[in-house]
Structure 1
Amino acid sequence: MATIAVAGKGGTGKTTICALVVRYLLARGETPVLAVDADPNSNLGQTLGVEVGITVGSAREQGFTGDREIPSGMTKDDFVQYKIQEALAEAEGFDLLTMGRPEGAGCYCFANNIIRRYMDALADDYCHVVMDNEAGLEHLSRRTTRRTDVLLVIADAGIRGVDAARNVLDLAAEMELEVGESLFVLNRAGDKARDALMPEIERLKLPLAAVIPEDPALFEAEVAGRSLLELPDGSPSVDAAAPLFDKIFGTV
């Protein structure tokens, strides 16, 4: 089993990269997959064409941490596990778990703490785990024993995106995250942008693993609100990402 975490500043297309990873795994029968949307600005479900109902964060709003909310004969831990299972949105070949954010006053750490306790056991039921992370890597920092096999750091075609990627790497080092391999992906960029940014990219001291070009098919799907899992074979983004995913899932 491989655990793939995707991180980068908002707007770089990290959720799109997550969807491409899931699409790749489904196409090759590497199922079931657990997709985790750990970004408070949750949109992985929409990108994957899955309707999100209850989230882990919304469980707090339901007040299930109070003993009075726990059904008779059920322990608090049993009830928490039940709620997390309820939060799993099932789809063909994969499930989606959305962290969400409490709507009222409260700390987003609550959702992270619940996931920390149960993610390892939950992940054992899947062939692979793909996580869409917030820029601060909060979810990864609160994990327990399971390491992240590959951290994909995403940037778009601009200096600010590369700078944000550097911040992600610095943060991962500061948190002493257990990561098998970190790889850099330049998204929505062509050869000219890659060449212009190469001096900054080289300063990352991180392998440039893939350059994902602008993709009209992907753009049309996003505008229409269609799932990116429906992208056709041969589309530029699918073809550009495939060698990277071949490498990742052929070695982990």
Structure 2
Amino acid sequence: GFKNVFQLEGGIIEYTRQIKEEGIESKFIGKNFVFDHRLGERITDDIIAQCHQCGKPCDNHTNCANDACHLLFIQCDQCKAAMENCCSTECQETIHLPWEEQVAKRKGLQVGNKVFRKGKSEALKFKKSGDLPDKPLAKAETKDIRQKIKVKKTLIGKAEHYYSKSKIAQFLIENNELAVGDKVLISGPTTGDQEITISQIFVNGTFSDTAKAGDQITFELPFRVRLSDKLYKILDSENA
């Protein structure tokens, strides 16, 4: 129903590349949002949105970690840490219930549309979807690329299950090997990037110091993992 709608040749990401390369004024401000894994391509360093929970200038989109909710909303890093990636206290309490109780609570619920309907919850106090401010609320910090050290890693496995009552994570090793003392990165759309050092592992149900491709491993983990999470082994710089 909109008039004068035009499509950018090459898309918004190509447009961003061109304006940076040619040093021309951007007709877009803020951050471009894409649904795949809630990624964002920053067009300018202007922040024109707010954290839906505390009101702080923020433009990071996420989905509620509660599988019975999955609400799409904007959440700053501080609220993400305090609320464990949840949109409400109720959802935060739910993710700590035994897995069987969580499954029972969401049985019959239809929440698929909430994955894309941003901020549709009374629990979010600072939602202003569609209302743009006259001027940016803040500027995003530009990180010095020389200070950014890329983590060298190799994919070794995937998450299979999380036992919430005992806080035990189960992974399948698909490539390479894993040993006690190794540093690993657990990464996923909802989990984010979490680094830990392996202090103890059970391999195929038996305590062991090492695991190889094809082995099923379990170890204690203070946060929940999901089937979409991947397990990476962090490499030493000399081995990278």
Q: Do both proteins adopt the same fold according to a TM-score greater than 0.5, normalized to the shorter chain?
A: no
TM-score between the two structures when normalised by the length of structure 1: 0.23
Which of the two has greater helix per residue?
Answer: 1
Which of the two has greater strand per residue?
Answer: 2
Structure of higher RCO (CA pairs closer than 8 Å, 6+ residues apart): 1
TM-score between the two structures when normalised by the length of structure 2: 0.24
